[in-house]
Amino acid sequence: MLIDKKSNFDKQDLTFDELDEGFSTREAISEAKRCLNCPKPLCRTGCPIENEIPGFIQSLAKGNVGEASAIISRRSNLPAVCGRVCPHEKQCEAACILNKKGCGIKIGKLERFIADFDAEMAISTVAKPQNAIGKVAVIGSGPAGLTVAGDLAKSGFAVTVFEGQAEPGGVLMYGIPEFRLNKDVVRREIRRIEQYGVVFQTGVVIGPDITVDQLFADGFDAIFIGTGTALPRTLDLPGNTLPGVIQATYFLGMVQLANNGGLNQKEIPVHPGDKVVVIGAGNVAMDAARTALRVGASNVTVVYRRTEADITALRSEYDEAKQEGVNFQWLASPTAFVGNKKVTGLAYEIQQLTDNNQLLGTGQTAVLQADKVILAIGQRPAARIVSSTTGIEVSASGYVITKERPYGMTTRKGVFAGGDVVHEPATVVLAMKEAKKVAAGIAQYVEAKKLIEEC
C-alpha cells in the first residue's frame, strides 16, 4: 500500500540551508548541567571512538568551552561534523541513563555547540609539530582519511593527503546534503587539520595520475588508502540502461557541485516538475529523496521491498522525509524499469510477509510513474588503486584485506587501508573508529621501520 504522507509542510520552504540551528549558549549550558556525570558513563561506551563525553559536558556546564574543546580533540578531529551527522540516537545518546526517564542528554548538539563556539571565537590554538617522525601519504579525504591525517600529524608525522576532487572532504563534501551538513563547517574542520601541518593535494587521482609505487619512490614511509566505496551498486533488471535511471551518489554529488558554483544548475539530473522514484531505504535514499524535492521534483516516492519497521535509515531522517512530503511504497520489489527512449516508470511486484517475517511474492504487479528513478541500494570499492599496483589483495567482494598487526596493513608492506574500502559502508563515526586504530598501526610500523634503518 502506498503511504502518502500529507502534512502542512510547504515545499516552497525547502532550501539547502542547514535545518538544525543548534543550541544557543544559554541552551547548551543548561543542557550540560543536566548531565549526571555517571561514575560508569554508558554514553562513552556507546560512542564508537570512546569520546570523553562526561568530561567535555562537565567543562561546558562550568562555562569552560576551551577546556571542553580540548577534551573532545583528544579523540576526534571532526567534532563539528560528528555533532551534526553521527547517529547519536543509536549510539551515545541511546546509552544515556536518563533515557529511561525519556529525557536523555542531547550529546550531539552539545558537541556541535562546543566545536562551533570554539571556531567562531578562535579559542583553541594548534601546536604544529616541529620535527617529522616519518612521512605518510593518505589517499582520500573522507572521514577515514581525515582522521588518519589528523591523528598522525598531531603525533609528529609529516602527512600529505591526495584527493581526486577539486575540494577535500570526500563524502562529507559531496555525499551528505547541505541541509544536513553545512559545507563551510567541513571546510573549517579541514583548515584546522591543515594547522597541524597536513598538506592537501586536490585533483590528484591515484592510479592514473600517480601510483603507489611512485609515492614510495618519493620517500613516503607508509601509505593509507581511505577511498571509501566509490562504485554504486546497480539493479540487473530490464531497462536499467534507460536514460533517467541514475545513481544516488551521482545525483547528490552533482547537486553539491551546482550549489558550489562549479556546475550549471541545468546539469542536475532531476529537473523541476519531475516525478521521482527512489529505490532503497537507507540514509542515502532519504538524502536523495529530500534533495530531489529541493531541486523541484513535483513528487517523490521511496520504494522498499520490506516494511517501515525494516528500514536502515535513522528514524529521525525518515520522519523528516515524511514531514517534507516524501511518499513511501512498502512491500514493493522492483522488477523492471519501464520506458522506451527514456524511463517512464518503475514496475514492481507486491510482496507479503509470512508469520516468520519472510518475504513472499504475491504475483501481483504494479507500476509507479516516474521521470527519474534514483538507485540508493549501496556501493562497493573501486579497483583503480589496487589494479595499478602489486601485492594488495582484496576479498571476493572487492574489499581490501588487512592485518591485525600492525593494524590495518594490507598484504603489501607499508600500505594500509581503512574505512569503507575495508568494511561494508558504515557511518562517519564508525569509519573514524577504524581509522584511529589504523593510524596507531601506521605509527607503530613507521617507528619500527626507522629504528631498523638506524640500526
Domain boundaries along the sequence of the chain: 25-121, 134-229+381-454, 232-376
Tracing cell 562529507 back to the chain, one arrives at: 172
Interval 62-97: pLDDT, tens: 999 999 999 999 999 999 999 999 999 999 999 999
Q: Residues of the chain with pLDDT > 70: what percent?
A: 97
Does residue 279 contact residue 377 with C-beta atoms inside 8 Å?
A: yes
Does residue 138 contact residue 70 with C-beta atoms inside 8 Å?
A: no
The pLDDT value recorded for residue 404 is: 94
Q: What is the dihedral of CA 436, 438, 444, 450, to 10 degrees?
A: -110
pLDDT-based confidence at residue 4 (cuts at 50, 70, 90)? very low
Two domains, one topology: 134-229+381-454 and 232-376: yes
Average pLDDT over residues 216-235: 90
Query: For residue 92, what are the contacts with CB-CB under 8 A and spacing of at least 6?
Result: 43, 44, 46, 47, 51, 53, 107, 108
Asked whether the CA dihedral 92, 94, 95, 101 is positive or negative, the reply is: positive
pLDDT-based confidence at residue 9 (cuts at 50, 70, 90)? low
The pLDDT value recorded for residue 208 is: 87
The whole-model pTM stands at 0.90
**226 CB neighbour count, 10 Å cutoff:** 29
Q: Which CATH architecture has domain 134-229+381-454?
A: 3-Layer(bba) Sandwich (3.50)
pLDDT-based confidence at residue 5 (cuts at 50, 70, 90)? very low
Tracing cell 549550558 back to the chain, one arrives at: 29
CA–CA gap between residue 432 and residue 228 (Å, rounded): 12
Does residue 338 contact residue 347 with C-beta atoms inside 8 Å?
A: yes
pLDDT-based confidence at residue 3 (cuts at 50, 70, 90)? very low
Backbone angles phi, psi at 445, to 5 degrees: -65, -50
Task: Retrieve residue 275's grid coordinates.
Answer: 516525478
Peptide bond into 406 cis (omega under 30): yes
The pLDDT value recorded for residue 73 is: 94
- The CATH classification of domain 25-121, taken from the options 1.10.1040.10, 3.10.20.600, 3.20.10.10, 1.10.1060.10: 1.10.1060.10
CA–CA gap between residue 79 and residue 116 (Å, rounded): 9
Q: Which CATH architecture has domain 232-376?
A: 3-Layer(bba) Sandwich (3.50)
Interval 299-353: pLDDT, tens: 999 999 999 999 999 999 999 999 999 999 999 999 999 999 999 999 999 999 8
